[in-house]
Amino acid sequence: MDDLHRHRAPEHLLLGRTVAVKIIHGHLLSDESASARFITEARAASQLNHPNSVGVIDFGTTEDGLLYLVMEYLRGRDLARVLNESGLLPLRRSVEVIRQVLAALAEAHELGIIHRDLKPENIILEPRRGGGDYVKVVDFGLAKVRAERSVTRPGIVCGTPDYMAPEQGRGDTLDGRSDLYSVGVILFLLLTGRLPFEGDSPTQVVLLHLTMPPPDPRQVAPGRALPDALVDVCMRALSKDPDKRYADADAFAQALLESLELPPQHEGSSPGEVIVCVSCGSPNLIRQKFCGECGVKIGAGSGDHATRRPRLDLVPEIVSKLAGRTQQEMPLPLKNRAPDLGWLEERLGEVRGALVAVRLLGEEGA
């Protein structure tokens, strides 16, 4: 929210970690009832435990009477900035971003928390080490504080008009489906590069959301070859009547995934390419970093430990072999690591009886 001061604290003194601190402007919370509403909303947001929701660590009041939120510090870029710097995203990436947003909303809605101000600026994309985006949705519930303060001020539209559901523009009671409409607007933007409704003023945009049907994304962006099923999902989310939208975030996400007819495929490799471990001879899918049988590091840059070659005939064998196994059940024994194990045993012996916990740092799968 642009009404909030954003600060980065060097380190939370008790937690010993970098955090983000938001200080709420005093003019937003000018009376005790507004302050009480903020505390209620902050407490609700702190209940969110989904990995795609920003974590609220603490909240309270400063000695000067200013209200604040302490949250996990995010190093990524918001979706608006990503679109501005990179342009249109590939369809698969767009769908994956929306899927993660919906995953965060599913938990929030179950807890009775409505976001009310979903927009690209409130969607943070954190880069994964292995590639792809890790989505974080921020500012849950804070729009309600601003909205309730403005009830007695006629003509004030609360929220962001470009992404506002029709019932929100009318001042009706909101539920989780109002957030799903906003997600539909964001999906439209990701598919076409523009908003479904644009006007000369915020009021005009709200009126368009209330009265005009959204344009067909295929006509707005004819060069993108948008799948019909994906367009249908977007248009349903943009229904004026909440009853005609998806019933909940999970249903929206399921329809979204089903709209892409092709199964997800690992970038940079063919479906049938495998890595054969030289240490034990076991076949592994190319995206694996370590052999599923002996634990030896494999893949590009692993030197003599593995060879890479297309083996279409081995794919059914690998799939059958890995079927039903969870990640925790994958056999990754320590092979040829006797010196390392010996050193660890010596260190454990030195602190035996006083040890509370031990943290081992190393390569994934080691």
| Residue 361 is assigned to a structural domain of this protein | no
| Residue 37 is assigned to a structural domain of this protein | yes
From the candidates 78, 117, 139, 179, give the one annotated as an active-site residue: 117
| Residue 364 is assigned to a structural domain of this protein | no
Residue 145 pLDDT: 47
Task: Report the DSSP beta bridge partners of residue 123.
Answer: 137
143 and 63 part of one domain: no
Residue 212 neighbours by CB under 8 Å, 6+ apart: 197
Residue 257 pLDDT greater than 70, yes or no: yes
| Residue 251 is assigned to a structural domain of this protein | yes
Residue 306 pLDDT: 43
Domain with 325 in it? 273-351
61 and 25 part of one domain: yes
Torsion on CA atoms 299, 301, 305, 310, rounded to nearest 10: 40
300 and 319 part of one domain: yes
Task: Report the DSSP beta bridge partners of residue 67.
Answer: 61
| Residue 267 is assigned to a structural domain of this protein | no
Residue 300 pLDDT greater than 50, yes or no: no
- pLDDT band per the 50, 70, 90 thresholds, residue 269: very low
Residue 43 pLDDT greater than 70, yes or no: yes
Q: For residue 32, report the phi and psi dihedrals to the nearest 5 degrees.
A: -65, -35
Give the H/E segment covering residue 25.
Answer: none
Q: How is residue 210 written in tokens?
A: 């209330």
Q: How is residue 71 written in tokens?
A: 């949250």
Residue 359 pLDDT: 65
**Mean pLDDT value across residues 214-237:** 95
327 and 228 part of one domain: no
Place of tokens 């970098």: 18
Residue 277 pLDDT greater than 60, yes or no: yes
**Mean pLDDT value across residues 241-251:** 96
Final residue of a structural domain among 24, 56, 72: 72
Residue 217 pLDDT greater than 90, yes or no: yes
94 and 222 part of one domain: yes
98 and 185 part of one domain: yes
Residue 64 pLDDT: 79
Residue 232 pLDDT greater than 60, yes or no: yes
Q: What DSSP line would sit under 200-223, residue for residue?
A: SSHHHHHHHHHHSPPPPHHHHSGG
Final residue of a structural domain among 259, 287, 322: 259
CB 252 within 8 A of CB 102: yes
111 and 218 part of one domain: yes
Beta strands in the chain (DSSP E): 4-9, 19-24, 56-61, 67-72, 77-78, 123-127, 133-137, 273-277, 283-285, 306-310
| Residue 366 is assigned to a structural domain of this protein | no
Give how many domains the chain has, as a whole number: 3
Final residue of a structural domain among 194, 226, 259: 259
137 and 23 part of one domain: no
What b/e sequence results for 330-355 when a residue is b if at least 16 CB atoms lie within 10 Å of its CB, and e otherwise?
Answer: eebeeeeeeeeeeeeeeeeeeeeeee
Residue 266 pLDDT: 41
**Mean pLDDT value across residues 235-244:** 97
Residue 350 pLDDT: 72
DSSP letter, residue 156: P
Residue 25 neighbours by CB under 8 Å, 6+ apart: 3, 4, 5
Residue 237 pLDDT greater than 90, yes or no: yes
Residue 199 pLDDT: 92
225 and 312 part of one domain: no
117 catalytic? Reply is: yes
| Residue 134 is assigned to a structural domain of this protein | yes
| Residue 103 is assigned to a structural domain of this protein | yes
Distance in angstroms (rounded) separating the CA atoms of residues 108 and 45: 8
Residue 169 neighbours by CB under 8 Å, 6+ apart: 157, 161, 206, 207, 209, 210
42 and 82 part of one domain: no
97 and 246 part of one domain: yes
CB 240 within 8 A of CB 166: yes
CATH of the domain at 227: 1.10.510.10
Residue 284 pLDDT: 61
Per-residue model confidence as pLDDT tens digits over 100-132: 999 999 999 998 889 989 999 999 999 887 778
One-letter amino acid at 112 equals G
CB count in 10 Å sphere of residue 197? 23
Lowest mean pLDDT among 224-233, 293-302, 337-346: 293-302
Mean pLDDT, rounded, of the chain: 76
Distance in angstroms (rounded) separating the CA atoms of residues 306 and 137: 40
39 and 186 part of one domain: no
